Amino acid sequence: MASVYIGLGGNLDCPKSHISQGLIELNHLPNTKYIICSSFYQSKPMGPQDQPDYINAVAKIITMLTPENLLLCLQQIEKNHQRIKTRHWGERTLDLDILLYEDIQLKTVRLTIPHPRMHERGFVMYPLEEIAPHLIIPSMGHIRELIPHCIYTDITKLDETPYPISA
Ligand code: ROI
């Protein structure tokens, strides 16, 4: 089984429920088990500012799916949430990104792991640090050392977590 960290985010139609529901769908993927999720974090949009604030979280799963197959599954979950591409860096109901897959480094046309811009994004790095404070990110370094260099840091940790997943 591979340990994988997934970034979840959204800013339309009650994003907290989309994220909570997304976790349940992750847990239902073949040969995949949900392990833990961070609290919710709220942040200003990176990209056009005339859109609602984002809610983000990071989850850890374990899976036997390959990175490519996992990506296809995540795209299907996004579709289940009526995710429609409106404009570049525009609003969305649910966005799911593979951040890390074990300590694999991979670059194909469809997929780059580790996620190439994760280290800049406070809305990824803060929730990731919450659930993996000792993580070392391949080719980037220790999470604690990367966080002070984040660019997008206008982020608030909410006193709420996604609703729990029962076994
Ligand atoms: N901005 C924030 N704050 N959070 C996101 O998850 C997010 N996702 C995106 C873009 C549009 C780049 N901006 C974001 O895909």
Residue ID of nearest Cα to ligand 1 atom 11: 89
Contacts of 140 (CB under 8 A, 6+ apart): 114, 118, 119, 146
Q: What is the pLDDT of residue 167?
A: 64
Ligand 1 lined by 10 (C-beta under 6 Å)? no
Catalytic residue among 50, 95, 110, 154: 95
The finding on whether 133 has its CB within 6 A of some atom of ligand 1 is no
Using one digit for the tens of pLDDT, what is the confidence trace for 57-101? 999 999 999 999 999 999 999 999 987 777 899 999 999 999 999
- Distance, in Å, from the CA atom of 82 to the CA atom of 137, rounded to the nearest integer, reads 32
- Cα–Cα distance for residue pair 84/9, rounded to 1 Å: 14
Q: Are 67 and 34 in contact (CB under 8 A)?
A: no
pLDDT at residue 39 above 90? yes
Total-model pTM: 0.97
Among 99, 93, 135, which Cα is nearest to 118's? 99
Specify the pLDDT at position 84: 76
Q: Is 50 a catalytic residue?
A: no
Cβ neighbours of 12 (radius 10 Å): 19
Task: Confirm whether 83 is a catalytic residue.
Answer: yes
The predicted pLDDT at position 82 comes to: 85
Would you state the structure tokens that stand for residue 37, as one six-digit string?
A: 């999720």
- Residue 157 CA to residue 167 CA, distance in Å, equals 27
45 lines ligand 1 (CB under 6 A): yes
Measured distance CA(61)–CA(26) in Å, rounded: 8
12-16, 69-73, 82-86, 158-162 — which is least confidently predicted? 82-86
3-class secondary-structure state, position 140: coil
Tokens of 59: 């989850």
Location of structure tokens 């729990």: 164
Higher per-residue pLDDT: 166 or 161: 161
Contact of 157 with 129, CB cutoff 8 Å: no
